[in-house]
Chain A
Amino acid sequence: MLAVEMKHIYKTFGPVKANQDVNFELEQGEIHALLGENGAGKTTLMRILYGLYKADSGEIFINGEKVNIHSPKEAIAAGVGMVTQHFTLVPTLTVAENIVLGYSNQLVISQKDIETNVQQASEKYGIPVDPSALVRNLSVGERQRVEILKALYRNARILIMDEPTAVLVPQEVDALFEALVRLVKSGLSVIFISHKLIEVMAVCDRITVLRDGKVANTVKKAATTQVELAKMMVGRETFGVQRQNPRSASQPVYELTGISLEGKHGRKVLDQVSFNVGVGEILGIAGVSGNGQGELTEVLTGLVKPTEGSIKIDGRDITNFDPGAISNAGIGRTPQDRHEGTIGDLTVAENLALEHISSYTNKGMLDRKKIQEDAAEIIHEFQIKASPGDQLRKLSGGNMQKVVLARALSRKPRVLIASQPTRGLDVGATEYVRKRLLEERDRGTAVVLLSEDLDEVLALSDRIAVIYEGSIRGIIPAAEATPEKLGLLMAGAA
């Protein structure tokens, strides 16, 4: 009998088809991987199973019985537990309190009783936790164990793990896998969401690959290889169609050497990142989200100082420059989130002027006339549907992104850092932004394109660098980028 059977699941968010006719089967006592790129529909499918989303259509069976799950509470009652990347623990409470929270019908809770219960559960399932420890003092790995025990304590027989290794250090990953294998032997069934081929091959029995919201295939581990999985995950029809004529290698303008960054708990979120970009070249940085692109953007735009390494423009060291100095050094930057990199309450003109206030100062006062005039010119040039005096927050996403891009390009930079330049934009705005980036390349700008949209990286880049777990796994010319090659690099297998 199947532990979970999901049949013909459809789910759309506005125009986005997150799941299309997805069929998924989980056998009793197996670890089943859900593999796929960002936006392939893995998390959506599991949120439907856990009652966080409601499918547009489709049927779900648990242990052979048809179920209608409307909330996580009902999912838990049906024996489904979920451990997400972002833990849902209360830091100021103890481990035991967190585990019984919302799962106790007693009016008065005895600290001693719940600690004993949690201790017993901990021993029974072989998941070591200290019931009386405060959660805020625990490491990420320990918190994850608490989350797993919390699900098991609620009698979960089916456990969904959403990218459980994304936040862990290698030793914690090994411990997690050992625990999962042991739990499966005692009858638990596990769904393991991941984009890391090595892990999937190490711990899973079967693998379902999702691509663009559809099931690409379900295979047994023994019957497949990393190369085959990578191809299934990344393969697409448009591969390489829009590709530019590659530029021959030229004088490097922008150079990164050995950039590292330490995150929380001493984990290296960037590890010895090195690359260079030449005149009129677009270097695309590809990678599944959460592998360090965000942190790399923060370092490149000056929001965060790297712990090691150096950044140079035309041989000049700009490593520890703050954002203003980086901008003045001839680097145009677009933020990864346009709402965080701009000021919605200020006007379009003020936002455009903000990065270069000193050039709009006349005898200590703002040159408001020049601010308006320049803004009007930029608005015309970039075809932004707004007037200079409009509040930025009232603009559509596409127009706001044009403002962001215009601000970065208006000073004719030597280097452009373009981070997620088309995220959330409609087709027309996406086309416009991409065209602009190519024009910048033709003008001779060295462009670093950080994007989670692999199609975008493929369409625009001259060379592609793949980032995985904070380090660059390889830099390949766009012409040599095949689905297998990129897929293996992005999934950490090569």
Chain B
Amino acid sequence: MIKFRLERSPAAVWSKALIPVVAVLVTFIITSIFIILAGANPFAAYYNFIIVPLSTKFSALEVLVKATPLIFTGIAVTFAFAAGYYNIGAEGQLYAGAVAAAWVGATFTNLPPIAVVPLMLVLGFLGGVLWALIPALLKVKLKVDEVVTTLLMNSIIMYIISALLNGPWRDPETGWPKSPEFFEAARFIQLIPRSRLHLGFVIALVVVIIVYLIIKRTPLGLQMRAVGASKAGAQFAGINVNRTMLIAALVSGGIAGLAGVSEIAGIHYHLISELSGGYGYTGIIVATLGGLNPIGATIAALFIGLIDTGAQTVSRVLGVPVYLGDVVQSTLLLITLGMLLFQNYRIKRI
């Protein structure tokens, strides 16, 4: 019988750049099978997936709209993962930020935009921090696995939102479970007339730059990367591992909270329980595809925004299920993770 084993052997640097390209190609080949099963031509499908959305101004801007929350959540996850804190709770932290924004946007009716928007961002950030606080404290004080606790917190916030929307915030006239409408000053400005692209996209890019600088250029960032790569090594060098993880966890929650602010103030103008649709979880995909690099995560978010937009086109034009977009995303993630293995290992026949 032929046996194989994995051997540690770092790959050349140039191959790292090749990983996304090869991953996309392999994903194309694998998902083609599903597209054929759905009764469509894979080349036509990919033309609609990737080329069509970029060929008109309206749909190209829509890609940016779809990418905006993913940039936030992708950066949030990147920030925590970089320090070795596995925050799976960006979804819940996003909603916590949205709750704060929903309150500000419907309460301070007398404030001008220049005051209310920063207030909303600050409180939204703090909402995310608050929602990240309990699992983070459990992690550093009692070593409770954050993967479990951050995930559970996601369910808890959904019940709180359900209680809010069916209780105090229920629309008194229609009875719909949605929060009171934002007044005009609290709504993010549109960047381009007659498109949905809003201020949130710009804020997202600013966050990308700030996070990039923190991770790569500040003492905190170096400490975070050290803790993320080796807790034992970081501890030996005198870094306060728990403090570093705590900061990473809380800032990560805050950034995810901003995703909630951006979605509610930029798109919906009121809180509904379907605000996110899994942006927090997709953020994990985005962060991983981006190689835990803020710039990489941004590119990954844009790519997934494109696939999301394209999936609707494919579905409309070729009559295949819109879920093919999810299949493409998930396949891409699995292929990329598999390929990341080959950065440090290679298969050897024994």
Residue ranges of A at the interface with B (Cβ–Cβ < 8 Å) = 301-303, 322-328, 333, 335, 340-346, 350-351, 353-355, 357-358, 360-361, 364-366, 368, 391, 393-394
Q: Does B155 contact A (CB under 8 A)?
A: no
Interface window among B55-63, B141-149, B194-202, B229-237: B229-237
Nearest chain A CB to B291 CB, angstrom units: 12
Interface window among B123-131, B184-192, B220-228, B268-276: B220-228
Which residue, A325, A358, A366, A393, has most C-beta atoms of chain B within 10 A?
A366
Instruction: Out of A301, A357, A366, name the residue touching B236 (CB < 8 Å).
Output: A301
8 Å CB interface, B220-268 against A: 221-223, 225-226, 229-230, 232-240
Assembled-state Cα–Cα distance A303/B240 (Å): 11
Nearest chain A CB to B207 CB, angstrom units: 18
CB closest chain-B residue, reference A394: B10
Residues from chain B with Cβ under 8 Å of A365 in the complex: 213, 217-218
Residues from chain B with Cβ under 8 Å of A324 in the complex: 237-240
Instruction: Out of B10, B219, B232, B238, name the residue touching A355 (CB < 8 Å).
Output: B238
Residues from chain B with Cβ under 8 Å of A343 in the complex: 226, 229-230, 233-234, 237
Known: A342-B230, A357-B219, A394-B10. 11 other contacts (CB 8 A): A302-B238, A324-B240, A333-B236, A335-B236, A340-B230, A342-B233, A343-B230, A343-B233, A343-B234, A345-B229, A365-B217
Residues from chain A with Cβ under 8 Å of B229 in the complex: 343-346
Nearest chain B CB to A118 CB, angstrom units: 35
Nearest chain B CB to A413 CB, angstrom units: 13
CB closest chain-B residue, reference A326: B238
Instruction: Out of A301, A340, A354, A393, name the residue touching B222 (CB < 8 Å).
Output: A354
Which residue, B222, B223, B240, has most C-beta atoms of chain A within 10 A?
B222
Nearest chain B CB to A370 CB, angstrom units: 12
Q: Chain B interface residue count: which class? A: 20 to 34
Secondary structure call for the B interface: helix
CB closest chain-B residue, reference A338: B233
Can you list 5 A-B contacts (CB < 8 A)?
A301-B236, A302-B238, A341-B233, A343-B234, A346-B226
CB closest chain-A residue, reference B223: A357
A340 and B217 in contact, given A346-B226, A350-B222, A354-B226 (Cβ under 8 angstroms):
no
CB closest chain-B residue, reference A321: B238
Q: Is the Cβ of B10 less than 8 Å from the Cβ of A366?
A: no
Which residue, A335, A357, A394, has most C-beta atoms of chain B within 10 A?
A357
Assembled-state Cα–Cα distance A344/B230 (Å): 8
Residues from chain A with Cβ under 8 Å of B232 in the complex: 340-341
Assembled-state Cα–Cα distance A343/B228 (Å): 9
Q: Is the Cβ of A323 less than 8 Å from the Cβ of B237?
A: yes
Nearest chain A CB to B222 CB, angstrom units: 6
Q: Is the Cβ of A360 less than 8 Å from the Cβ of B219?
A: yes
A325 and B238 in contact, given A343-B230, A346-B229 (Cβ under 8 angstroms):
yes
Which residue, B10, B223, B233, B236, has most C-beta atoms of chain A within 10 A?
B236
Residues from chain B with Cβ under 8 Å of A335 in the complex: 236
CB closest chain-B residue, reference A357: B219
Closest 3 CB pairs of A and B: A324-B238, A345-B229, A343-B233
Q: Is the Cβ of B217 less than 8 Å from the Cβ of A368?
A: yes
Q: Is the Cβ of A323 less than 8 Å from the Cβ of B217?
A: no
Residues from chain B with Cβ under 8 Å of A351 in the complex: 237
Residues from chain B with Cβ under 8 Å of A346 in the complex: 222, 225-226, 229
Nearest chain B CB to A140 CB, angstrom units: 23
Q: Is the Cβ of A366 less than 8 Å from the Cβ of B235?
A: no
Residues from chain A with Cβ under 8 Å of B238 in the complex: 302, 322-328, 354-355
Nearest chain B CB to A417 CB, angstrom units: 11
Nearest chain A CB to B229 CB, angstrom units: 4
Q: Is the Cβ of A354 less than 8 Å from the Cβ of B218?
A: no
Assembled-state Cα–Cα distance A368/B232 (Å): 24
Residues from chain A with Cβ under 8 Å of B213 in the complex: 365
A366 and B237 in contact, given A340-B232, A341-B232, A343-B230 (Cβ under 8 angstroms):
no
Q: Is the Cβ of B237 less than 8 Å from the Cβ of A354?
A: yes
Assembled-state Cα–Cα distance A88/B59 (Å): 61
